[in-house]
Amino acid sequence: MATLAPRELKIGKIIDKTLGVIEVNAVPALIFVLVLAAVGTAITSGSASSTPLQVAGGQLLRSVVGIVCGYFLLVAMMRRLNLSQAGADVFLPYLGLSALYTLGILLGMIAIILPGLFLMTRWSIAQPLLVARRGGVMASFGESWDRTKGNEIAIFVAALALALIPIAVMIAAGVLFEKDSIVRIAVSEIASSGISLIYLAVGVALYGLLVGREGAAAPSA
């Protein structure tokens, strides 16, 4: 793939665009948060008396639900903003991309955190690219890598700024409620789901800023 000319992004522009994405998609975004929070609350509240195998199964279920819900929310966001057209289903490629993305981030986080954060910024539009282009997994990673070049700090700071409120809510819940309190668990899961929503919306916002409608009908690389 040819290297793309980088486009400079401003932190304020990313934040404004992300909030706009969430506003336009308020209903599916709310459903996404509530479903993830409900599943997470049920799994977490029941894990105290679970065996290690059951805990692992619960975490796997949480991950699967998160990927499935994330896929349908991302598709809805892209279509509502006219960034993707109706067409072939790409859930299986999306599943593969999400698995590789998660593995890469986890390995990066293990390597003193910074590599993981770097990968998060450079791969931040890989999922929207896959949904819009219906192309290959590796092509989506590659184009995301090229298009986000030079904007790593702006993307990271914008995403962190947007996530500060749910992070503060999680900390407050941990301070105000007992560890096994259902209120603490539910509030923390809602805040955690909100962070997931924010990251998906950031990806869509970045796609709109870096690619725009040119990508909706573009052939796969």
One-letter amino acid of 21: V
Residue 127 near residue 99 (C-beta atoms within 8 A) = no
User: What is the residue-averaged pLDDT of the chain?
Assistant: 87
Residue 4 has pLDDT above 60, yes or no: no
179-202 pLDDT, tens digit each: 889 999 999 999 999 999 999 999
DSSP H stretches of helix in 88-151: 91-110, 114-122, 126-133, 137-147
CA torsion, ordered 132, 69, 92, 151, to nearest 10 deg:
50
| Distance (Å, whole) CA 100 – CA 104 | 6
Question: What is the pLDDT at residue 110?
Answer: 75
| Distance (Å, whole) CA 94 – CA 90 | 6
21-44 pLDDT, tens digit each: 999 999 999 999 999 999 999 988
Quote the tokens at residue 150.
Answer: 């030079």
| Distance (Å, whole) CA 171 – CA 75 | 31
> Quick one: CA dihedral 169, 171, 174, 176, positive or negative?
negative
One-letter amino acid of 170: M
| Distance (Å, whole) CA 73 – CA 201 | 9
97-120 pLDDT, tens digit each: 998 988 888 887 776 667 888 999
How many C-beta atoms surround the C-beta of residue 87 within 10 A?
A: 11
- Non-local (6+) Cβ contacts of 165 within 8 A are 194
Quote the tokens at residue 196.
Answer: 């997931």
Residue 124 has pLDDT above 60, yes or no: yes
How many C-beta atoms surround the C-beta of residue 23 within 10 A?
A: 10
| Distance (Å, whole) CA 144 – CA 136 | 12
CA distances for 12 relative to 94, 150, 156, 195, 201, angstroms:
29, 16, 12, 18, 15
Query: DSSP assignment, residue 3?
Result: P
One-letter amino acid of 166: P
Question: What is the pLDDT at residue 219?
Answer: 43
Residue 116 near residue 108 (C-beta atoms within 8 A) = yes
